[in-house]
Structure 1
Amino acid sequence: MTVPPRPAEPTLREILGGRRGALDATIPVAAFVVGWLVADRTGSLSAVSWGGGAAVVAAILVAGFRMARGGKPRSVLLGLIPVAVAVAVAVATGRAVDFFLVQIASNAGSALAFAVSIVIRWPLLGVIVGLVLGQKTRWRRDADLLRAYGRASWVWVGQYLVRLAVFLPLFAAGQVVALGVARIALTWPLVAACIGISWVVLRRSLPHDHPGLLHPVVDGIPTDSPTRPNDHGES
């Protein structure tokens, strides 16, 4: 059976969204750095606690705003937990720089998880997109999609490694302010670049006559996704 040329389809940015969540994640970081810096400059002995308190308050305000705008409670809670854990680590050690340990560990774990998923032929980009589109694991039965998702997933590995390459030297040097700036600068802009580049890799890795992400070819027959990305919108 001849597969017709693939029609226009939504991009990864439209499928995954994420800009709002990425921007929200930077507000508590900025609050922590400002709170710690002001308290430290005024000679406070509990500068880390002041920074942590500012971060928690900022996270709660962001959560409240999102809830008021109709955000899902689970998504809001998932945004609060990393901030609370990061603050707890910093307060426990008494080192402001340790506020960024959770982020560093998260990026290291994500890089490893994406790399391993590619090696075992369960590329995480495909898993995520498949879940969003309601395809479950049907995309894995399409050899072209499986290969394309694997290649595009390497871009995500690179994203996490870029952050680690910036964060680790600053962390070792105890540069709290620089880490805060880097954390903000490497959130949404880097995510946007990663999504854009991985989309290009994904499209170019598929044969010209492949029907696209929405229609995995199973046993030579294109299938339809039960849901459309536009039903999800940007988060």
Structure 2
Amino acid sequence: MSPETQPLPEVRPLTVLDRLGGWWGIVGTGGPQVVFAMLTNVTSLPVTAGVALAVAVVFGVIRKLRGEETAAALGGVLGVGIAAGIALWTGSASDFFLVGVVTSAAFFVPTAGSFVLGRPVTGVLWNALHGGGHPWREDRPSRRAHDLATAAAASMFGARALISGLLWWTESVAGLALARIVLGVPLTALVALVVFWAFRRTTHRLVTPARVAARSTGSSR
């Protein structure tokens, strides 16, 4: 069999779990926060922050050794490092979770704003990824799909900002760690499914028919 006729290896499509970094990525996301909350009342803040950072480093190295990209594998380490630095600087254990509160609020404002203004951000992103020339806002099913996906994303960011913000205000470290887990990967996976569905639905309605028409035109020549 010549190299030209050899079948291409089958590529397994990425699942939601894969996109979230697999089980190592999921555990590594919430692990440092849980360790931090468990040690807060047991040892000093510097030791607690150091152990949480060490846990993040361990998970980051494991993910890197498993073949993940450096940015994905070590991104969590940087986040925990910043969170630990803020907590040590302010002297408050609850400030370890402040970055997450601020980040959620920062994402909520433009996401919710795009929904209110009638330009859902998931649709804008989909259009940009597909060349920027598709009339997705004029296609009612596509528009509704992205309204739903953007509303889901805005609700996720809003819930995180509100609940975690209230827990941060009351300095409930255990509550913040629990909220980080409950409102973290499970909610992200649910919203990701809605966004992927909206992307796929819009592609099926606006991109696939154009490709079929182009193939038909080409074969008729």
**Per the alignment, in what secondary structure is the counterpart of residue 40 of structure 2?**
helix
Of structures 1 and 2, the one scoring higher in RCO (CA 8 A, sep 6+) is 1
Hey, what's the Cα distance between the residues in 2 that align with 1:77 and 1:66?
8
Computing the radius of gyration from Cα coordinates, the structure with the larger value is 2
Structure 2 match to 1:143: 138
Percent same amino acid among aligned pairs?
24
Structure-to-structure mapping, 1:54-73, within 5 angstroms:
54-73=51-70
Hey, what's the Cα distance between the residues in 2 that align with 1:97 and 1:221?
52
Structure 2 match to 1:207: none
2:37 counterpart of 1:37: no
1:171-214 C-alpha deviation (Å, 9 max, x unpaired): 111111121122112212222333345667x49xxxxxxx8343
TM-score, length of structure 1 as denominator length:
0.70
Structure 2 match to 1:99: 96
Hey, what's the Cα distance between the residues in 2 that align with 1:17 and 1:215?
21
Structure 2 match to 1:173: 170
1:28-71 C-alpha deviation (Å, 9 max, x unpaired): 111212232320xxxxxxx2211210111011101100011001
Distance 1:168 1:142, change over 3 A: closer
TM-score, length of structure 2 as denominator length:
0.73
Name whichever structure is richer in helix by fraction. Answer: 2
Hey, what's the Cα distance between the residues in 2 that align with 1:123 and 1:98?
32
Distance 1:167 1:48, change over 3 A: same
Structure 2 match to 1:17: 19
Distance 1:36 1:119, change over 3 A: same
2:177 counterpart of 1:188: no
Unaligned runs of 5+ in 2: 1-12, 213-221
**Per the alignment, in what secondary structure is the counterpart of residue 212 of structure 1?**
helix
C-alpha displacement of 1:135: 2.5
Moved more, 108-117 or 140-149: 140-149
- Root-mean-square deviation (CA, aligned residues, Å) is 3.2
Residue type at the aligned position of 1:222: A
Number of residue equivalences: 196
C-alpha displacement of 1:169: 2.0
Hey, what's the Cα distance between the residues in 2 that align with 1:69 and 1:130?
33
| Structure 1 contact 12–196 (Cα < 8 Å) conserved | no
C-alpha displacement of 1:119: 4.4
